[in-house]
Amino acid sequence: MSANPTEQSVEALVRTSREDDIFIIQIHRPQKFNALSQDVRSQMVAAIESIRHDQSVRALVVWGGPEVFAAGADLEEMLTRTPMEAMRQINDGPDVTEALASLRQPTVVAVAGLALGGGMEVTLAADIRIAASTAIFGQPEINVGLIPGAGGTQRLSRLVGLGKAKEMILLGERIDAHEALRIGLVNKVVPLENLLNEAKSWARRLAAKPMYAMRLAKLVMDRGYDAELNQGLTMELLAFSAAFGTPDQREGTKAFLEKRQPVFPGTTR
């Protein structure tokens, strides 16, 4: 991997960097605890969309820095919002969670400090969640007379079960990193000083896998999770069959028979 990644800033609120085939997005609004204002969301979506069709990017890492991931929505923007304005903002505004969830490349979020409300909903939209021991998760919207509006009521229950999701959303209480690991909300907990490197390590492992199969597996799992079992099995069969037409499958099978490591198309390894 490159020892000196190139970095650039997308205005002041989102920073991006590239390390070979890994793309990194950092939320950077420390004076507001990385609250997800409309400008932050717009810049995050722009950063995600910039790699959507880039075949040279094989994995994405999202984090908020070592102190906080994102402490929810910007409440100052929401104070006087009407119901129609709220609906319009969700339907027409920049949708970070959908942009992240629909990305074909595998995604890893690295969480330090607070991941609350909309910040937690961003983590729910990723494929893999790595938490620092300092991480705190919560959906506290109920405490200000609201409910989650960016996927929290749906994605959280699919990850941790309906009972635990109801506990978190209806009580609006926070949980720490180790409880998040226990209930299956995060994949791993590491010391804070190891967080970003651990997330990059996961991203590199994912990036080394065959991208065609990766995309098919993500698509079938995401679309089939809440479908009827027979529908999900049909999707799986179609995707399994489609994989036989890919260069990944030919290289992987050939490498196995030749007792060597595969070099999948597009990898830098």
The yes-or-no verdict on residue 9 having pLDDT over 50 is: no
Q: Which two tokens stand for residue 256?
A: 């196995």
Starting at the earlier edge strand, list the strands of the sheet with 6-10: 6-10, 14-19, 22-27, 59-63, 107-111, 128-132, 188-190
Cβ 134 vs Cβ 192: under 8 Å: yes
The whole-angstrom separation of Cα 48 and Cα 104 is 11
The mean per-residue pLDDT over the stretch 106-129 comes to 97
Residue with tokens 């529908």: 231
Residue-level pLDDT at 79: 60
Percent pLDDT > 90 in the chain is 69
pLDDT, tens digit, 9 for 90 and up, residues 29-84 = 999 999 998 899 999 999 999 999 998 999 999 999 999 999 976 666 666 666 66
- Mean of per-residue pLDDT scores for the chain: 89
The yes-or-no verdict on residue 11 having pLDDT over 60 is: no
Task: Band the pLDDT of 87: cuts 50, 70, 90.
Answer: low
The yes-or-no verdict on residue 268 having pLDDT over 50 is: no
The yes-or-no verdict on residue 143 having pLDDT over 50 is: yes
The whole-angstrom separation of Cα 6 and Cα 22 is 12
pLDDT, tens digit, 9 for 90 and up, residues 156-212 = 999 999 999 999 999 999 999 999 999 999 999 999 999 999 999 999 999 999 988
Residue-level pLDDT at 1: 42
Structural domains in the chain, sorted by start: 6-207 (3.90.226.10), 211-257 (1.10.12)
Cβ 107 vs Cβ 128: under 8 Å: yes
Q: Where are the alpha helices (DSSP H) in the chain?
A: 38-49, 75-78, 83-92, 96-101, 118-124, 152-160, 162-171, 177-182, 195-207, 211-224, 229-243, 247-257
Residue-level pLDDT at 88: 64
The residue ranking higher by pLDDT, 169 or 6, is 169
Residue (of 102, 134, 100) closest to 27 by Cα position:
100
Task: Band the pLDDT of 225: cuts 50, 70, 90.
Answer: confident
Catalytic residues: 121, 141
Report which listed range, 19-23, 85-89, 145-149, is most confident: 19-23
DSSP 230: H
Residue-level pLDDT at 174: 97
Report which listed range, 9-13, 29-33, 133-137, 220-224, is most confident: 133-137
The whole-angstrom separation of Cα 67 and Cα 74 is 18
